Amino acid sequence: MTRRNTAHSSLRDPLGTLRRMESWAAPDSIPALPPIDPQAVPLRLYDTATKAPREVEIPAGATATMYVCGITPYDAAHMGHAATMIAFDLVVRQWRDRGIPVRYVQNVTDIDDPLLERAARDGEDWVVLGMRETALFREDMHALRVIPPDHYVGAVESIPAIVSLIERLLESGAAYRLEDGSGDIYFDVAAAPRFGYESGYDRDTMLALFAERGGDPEREGKRDRLDPLLWRGARPDEPAWPSALGPGRPGWHIECAAIAMGFLGDQIDVQGGGNDLIFPHHEMSAAHAETLTHCHPFARTYVHAGMIGLDGEKMSKSKGNLVFVSRLRGDKVDPAAIRLALLAGHYRADREWTEELLKAGQERLARWREAVRRPAGPSGAVVLARLRERLADDLDTVGALAAVDAWASETLAGGGRDETAPSLVSDAVDALLGVPLRVSDSA
Ligand code: 5CA
Ligand code: ZN
């Protein structure tokens, strides 16, 4: 199929002059590496929709486009958020290494039920809560050297864009109003001919996950129990915005469809997030977008990061079993060690956060830093080639870390005569893994 990745000019800045959410500060510098032969190491990422690794092909001169589902800011960022953001940061770094221009968009769900529930529980203003946690998230991302998205976009500022998509869905018959006077508008999943292709789940699994993850299968008056909310009519004691649809607030999936389409166009290269978003979130976002554009697939590659757990349970704000990035920073843990701890597992694997994992990350960081201070070591070019090859293979950080480990061990044992190796390895680890090694004695 032909490539469609140009945003409609009218949608390129769908938010017009509205106040814009700010992204975070970029890492101070990202070293340039010797040129790569992109044909020799094509980037492959596992695609959830086709259940296979897929070559992420960006034609010469085109811009790679990626949308990653960001936080709902009602609590601080935990190791799971960090792991997911770092995984997609590696994708950005893969494209940068190939000299491919990148247009990366991430959202902030700054209005949704969990935010209102937490604010009510704590007797706090939901706007202030969202602003504070978003600010903390930005600091965490900067500390972790995550390259910022080009557009960091809030749901609230996107309401006009969301409303206009819902109007179009209503006009086409793909959306409908409940007749109970609530003002609620739903999407008709039957209007999306390929509904289900992204997750590949059967109906029972869909119904179970829909109920678990913010859906309302039991709501009376819907055409299909799986139909998701597009617009929630105003309720007493809930924030609402005036709109052509009536006063209310946006549903979750249409938020991400509107922001992704608005900034990236009808079709994107990578749709990313944790694997808790495979269904319903990314299925519904794709269904909304494809119903509007008739362009399939909405994302050429659907990439999902594994869940980080603690004590055998998914780390989640609602369960309260959290290790916060900010707390570790407060304890003076080097963010580079956090990064290495998370990169020690494959991004797609559900895995546990443990004290030992962090300790191993700290030890590895110290070893690597010591090795790059040596005057020479085994060939740096070999390490760079191996890093590129491993990362291009669905971000195999386990293999990438092993390559640097082997180089560091040999270097520390006095092996190798390549005097350019310490700086080349240091640059490669910084540019490709986001781990700075040449620091004036770190904490
Ligand atoms: N705002 C929505 C996405 S539009 C949301 O899911 N927010 S979140 O705060 O719950 O999660 C933010 C990002 O971190 C999402 O990509 C989510 O899939 C991912 N995430 C959440 N919990 C974990 C976890 N335990 N491990 C790994 N990633 C996680
Ligand atoms: Zn999302």
Report pLDDT digits (tens) over 183-238.
Answer: 999 999 999 999 999 999 999 999 999 999 999 999 999 999 999 999 999 999 99
Testing ligand 1's pocket by substitution, the residue of 66, 81, 112, 323 carrying the most ligand atoms inside 8 A of its CB is 81
* Closest-CA residue to 308 (of 347, 266, 255): 347
Instruction: Give mean pLDDT, residues 357-367.
Output: 98
Residue 441 above 50 pLDDT? no
d(CA 439, CA 293): 49
Residue-level pLDDT at 39: 86
- What confidence category does residue 17 fall into, taking pLDDT thresholds of 50, 70 and 90? very low
Nearest CA owner, ligand 1 atom 9: 71
Shortest-distance atom of ligand 1 to CA 306: 27
- What confidence category does residue 18 fall into, taking pLDDT thresholds of 50, 70 and 90? low
Instruction: Give mean pLDDT, residues 422-439.
Output: 96
CA of 381 to the centre of ligand 1 (A): 37
The chain-wide mean pLDDT, for the chain, equals 94
Residue-level pLDDT at 12: 44
Residue-level pLDDT at 443: 40
- What confidence category does residue 110 fall into, taking pLDDT thresholds of 50, 70 and 90? very high
In 150-298 the beta strands, taken as DSSP E runs, fall at 151-154, 175-177, 185-187, 229-233, 248-250, 268-274
Residue 4 above 90 pLDDT? no
Instruction: Give mean pLDDT, residues 398-409.
Output: 98
Residue-level pLDDT at 40: 87
Residue-level pLDDT at 218: 98
Residue 15 above 70 pLDDT? no
Ligand in closest contact with the CA of 272:
1
Q: Is 158 in the pocket of ligand 1 (CB under 6 A)?
A: no
Residue-level pLDDT at 440: 64
Residue 11 above 60 pLDDT? no
d(CA 413, CA 127): 55
Q: Is 345 in the pocket of ligand 1 (CB under 6 A)?
A: no
Could you count the other beta carbons within 10 Å of the beta carbon of residue 398? 14
Instruction: Give mean pLDDT, residues 282-299.
Output: 98
CA of 326 to the centre of ligand 2 (A): 23
- What confidence category does residue 313 fall into, taking pLDDT thresholds of 50, 70 and 90? confident
Residue-level pLDDT at 127: 95
- What confidence category does residue 38 fall into, taking pLDDT thresholds of 50, 70 and 90? confident
Ligand in closest contact with the CA of 284:
2
Cross-strand bridge partners of residue 65: 103
Residue 317 above 80 pLDDT? no
Instruction: Give mean pLDDT, residues 235-262.
Output: 97
- What confidence category does residue 312 fall into, taking pLDDT thresholds of 50, 70 and 90? confident
Residue-level pLDDT at 320: 66
CA of 70 to the centre of ligand 1 (A): 7
**Structure confidence by residue, pLDDT tens digits, 128-143:** 999 999 999 999 999 9
* Closest-CA residue to 250 (of 125, 130, 166): 166
Residue with tokens 């940061």: 89
The DSSP string of 392-430 is HBT--HHHHHHHHHHHHHHHHTT---BTTHHHHHHHHII
In terms of pLDDT, which residue wins out, 300 or 40? 300
Shortest-distance atom of ligand 1 to CA 112: 1
Ligand in closest contact with the CA of 307:
1
Nearest CA owner, ligand 1 atom 18: 274
d(CA 400, CA 421): 16
Residue 72 above 90 pLDDT? yes
Testing ligand 1's pocket by substitution, the residue of 72, 75, 84, 308 carrying the most ligand atoms inside 8 A of its CB is 84
Q: Is 261 in the pocket of ligand 1 (CB under 6 A)?
A: no
* Closest-CA residue to 199 (of 414, 38, 51): 51
